[in-house]
Chain A
């Protein structure tokens, strides 16, 4: 309270006791850290909320599925994350969506190089999925990521950028 009074009365920083100074600095640090995690979480939640908006509209289709949002992958240094695991789950719907500018030839090349065979749902992101991608891809490194979204019984279990 002395501290607060000090601020109110226009006392300078040196009038606070050592303990008061430590308490104030500690409080400020806690606030900053909380704000950081809040906004970080909020960003992740925003990405998740947008995905939920789409999958809720077609619950049965997305109920148990793995969705890949692909910006750029290659067998040399940026492989398709966890594909080797998920491809063998036959009751898991596999959906691969590419950026809208992928051509049919690009998609054919992708399937050949990654040795992907039917049955999977493959195509380009529509406007809605693309805006989800952009929201999820909003990172401080300005890196363009691919995303893996795992949905079990209508709940998003995992969103991984790679």
Chain B
């Protein structure tokens, strides 16, 4: 009888866990397989990245106004763009998105969205007049985050000719008078900074500031909202940012700069999951990739990046073993300060 009681006592926590439905989120370590470029090419800042269906890597160098193309082994295959205002030329390109089906490439620069064909031939420039924050393209649609002063909508949905099909989502409702040192346009950009992700049927908005995912259908109807709840400290940061942006107001630093408030650095869609790149200071050390199920928006896995990397962007692509994808990141190497691309896989 005594033995049975001891055994029951030992299993009690497990039983409670099972009964409450609590689920332990698996954690994996990632290791850096390779980094590039190694030759004479140096990125001037974090390159924005994307991958096409063939597995070619596109990296946008903002300072060189150029898109570089690599294969998965890191070999430079070509480039396009270059400084200018003519057809196919770019001015301060900052984001890139490749239509995974058709192979068309969309590069956001100072003038709008530049569309290139799968053969990197220039097709057209779509002017947006809004200073867009982020974009994603696929299935004939371009979704862009464009907080416009005086409008409540956050995301614009365009066709590939630049016709605005729909607007959806709501901007965070800020009281601009609380942040008198910051122009409303800039404040909107700070608070609504995030990623927009498109699949065939849904649009996802991921807030980098509040680590919140909002899911909409293509007609713009909201389907669900989920706030990330891991790690434990996340709520502390969320509360702090909310307080600054909505209550006390944002102030300039002594040197005139403005601190950006972020929990996440980037997000992407791959298969049935959304991959979120979480900043290192939120997790007390190393950057993490949080894997979220795109249907339920529940966290399914955490992956910890190697130390010594400051990653800015993330994309996921298939490996030879289809069950374990590979991760492409653009990062700054802590030791050398160089901006590089790296491929990571589960250890």
Contact = CB atoms under 8 A, between A and B. Distances in A.
A105 B162 contact: yes
Contact of A75 (B112, B124, B129, B164): B129
Interface in A84-111: 101-103, 105-106, 108-110
Given A72-B110, A144-B85, A105 B130 contact: no
B129 A74 contact: yes
Interface string B117-128: 000000011111
Interface string B93-131: 000000000000000001110000000000011111111
B185 A106 contact: no
A59 B243 CA distance: 59
B150 interface: yes
Nearest to A112: B164
B30 interface: no
Given A108-B164, A114-B129, A103 B124 contact: yes
Contact of B126 (A73, A105, A112): A105
Instruction: Place the interface of chain B in its size category.
Output: 20 to 34
Nearest to B87: A101
A76 B189 CA distance: 9
A16 to B, nearest CB: 49
A76 B110 CA distance: 11
B149 interface: yes
A74 B130 contact: yes
Contacts of B270: none
A113 B126 CA distance: 14
A110 B129 contact: yes
B189 A72 contact: no
Contacts of A105: 126, 161-164
Contacts of B111: 72
B140 to A, nearest CB: 14
Interface majority SS on B: helix, strand, loop or mixed?
loop
B148 interface: yes
Contacts of B189: 76
Given A72-B110, A103-B162, A144-B85, A110 B127 contact: yes
A114 B149 CA distance: 10
A65 to B, nearest CB: 23
Interface in B121-166: 124-131, 148-150, 161-164
A105 B126 CA distance: 8
B125 A75 contact: no
Contacts of B125: 101
A115 interface: yes
Contact of A109 (B127, B131, B149): B127
Contacts of B130: 74-76, 113
Contact of A115 (B110, B128, B131, B150): B150
A114 B150 CA distance: 10
Contacts of B128: 74, 109, 113
Interface of B: 85, 87, 110-112, 124-131, 148-150, 161-164, 185, 189
Given A77-B131, A77-B185, A108-B164, 9 more contacts: A74-B130, A75-B131, A103-B126, A105-B126, A106-B127, A109-B127, A109-B129, A109-B164, A113-B148
18 contacts: A73-B129, A74-B128, A75-B149, A75-B185, A76-B130, A76-B131, A76-B185, A77-B185, A101-B125, A103-B124, A109-B127, A109-B129, A109-B164, A110-B129, A113-B129, A113-B130, A114-B129, A115-B150
